[in-house]
Amino acid sequence: MFQLMVASPVGQMAHALRHVDQAPCFKRELVPILNLNLAAKIAKVHGTKPLIVTTDHVQSKLLYSKVDGGFSEWVDGACSVSCGSGTMLQKRTCSNPEPKFGGRYCQGSFNQTVSCQLDPCPIHGGFSDWHNGPCSVSCGTGSSVQTRDCSNPVPRFGGRSCHGILNQVVPCTLDPCPVHGGFNEWLNGTCSTTCGTGQLIQIRECSNPIPRFGGRNCEGVFTRLIPCEMDPCPVNGGFSDWDNGPCSVSCGAGRMVQTRTCSNPTPQNGGKDCQGESKQIVPCILDQCPVHGRFSEWTNGPCSVSCGKGKMVQTRTCSKPAPQHGGRDCVGATFQISECIRPECPSKLDSFPCLDFGHIYVPQSAFQFIESSRVHFAQTCLNLCLLDPNCRFSTYRRNVCSMFRGSYMRKRNRFVISSDTRNC
**3-class SS of residue 106:** coil
Q: How far is CA 76 from the centre of its chain?
A: 65
Q: Rounded mean pLDDT of the chain?
A: 76
243 beta partners: 259
Q: Does the structure show a pLDDT above 70 at 48?
A: no
Q: How far apart are CA 314 and CA 308, in angstroms?
A: 19
Per-residue pLDDT band for 170 (boundaries 50, 70, 90) equals very high
Residue percentage of the chain with pLDDT more than 90: 46
Which range scores top for mean pLDDT: 47-51, 175-179, 388-392?
175-179
> How many Cβ atoms from other residues are within 10 Å of residue 381's Cβ?
22
Q: What is the pLDDT of residue 41?
A: 53
Instruction: Tell me how far apart the alpha carbons of residues 262 and 281 are, in angstroms, rounded to a whole number.
Output: 18
Write out pLDDT tens, residues 258-285. Answer: 999 999 999 988 889 999 999 999 999 8
CA dist., res. 314 & res. 311, Å (int): 10
What domains sit in the chain, N to C, each tagged with a CATH number?
Answer: 3-54 (no CATH), 75-117 (2.20.100.10), 131-173 (no CATH), 187-229 (2.20.100.10), 299-341 (2.20.100.10), 353-418 (no CATH)
Question: What's the pLDDT score for residue 323?
Answer: 92
Angstrom distance (rounded) from CA 208 to CA 181:
6
pLDDT in tens, 385-422: 544 555 666 666 656 565 555 555 556 666 655 544 44
**What are the residues facing 335 on neighbouring strands?**
315
Q: Report the pLDDT value the prediction gives residue 95, as an integer from 0 to 100.
A: 93
Torsion of CA 45, 46, 47, 51, to 10 degrees: -100
Once rounded to an integer, what is the mean pLDDT over residues 88-106? 93
Tens of pLDDT, residue by residue over 216-259, are: 999 999 999 999 988 888 899 999 999 999 999 988 889 999 99
Q: What are phi and psi of 20, to 5 degrees?
A: -65, -45
State pTM to two decimals.
0.27
pLDDT at position 143 over 90: yes
Contact call for residues 92 and 112 (beta carbons, < 8 A): no
User: pLDDT at position 345, please?
Assistant: 82
Mean pLDDT of 56-62: 44
Residue 42 region, left (φ>0) first, then alpha (ψ -120 to 50), else beta?
A: alpha
| Higher per-residue pLDDT: 367 or 210 | 210
How crowded is residue 354: how many other Cβ atoms within 10 Å of its Cβ?
Answer: 22
What is the separation, in whole angstroms, between the first and last Cα of the chain? 131
Most confident listed range (27-31, 267-271, 349-353): 267-271
Closest residue by Cα to residue 74 from 103, 47, 23, 108: 108
Instruction: Find, among 179, 183, 178, 177, the residue nearest to 219 by Cα.
Output: 183
Range of weakest confidence among 75-89, 119-133, 189-203, 408-422: 408-422
Q: Which of 218, 225, 156 is nearest to 184 (CA)?
A: 218
* Exposure on the CB side of residue 300, measured as CA atoms within 13 A: 10
- What does the pLDDT average to over 50-70? 59
The answer to whether the bond into 209 is cis (omega within 30° of 0) is: yes
Distance CA 396, CA 207 (A): 111
CB-based contact 413:397 (threshold 8 Å):
yes
Q: What is the mean pLDDT of residues 278-304?
A: 91
Q: What angle do CA 327, 331, 333 make, to 5 degrees?
A: 140
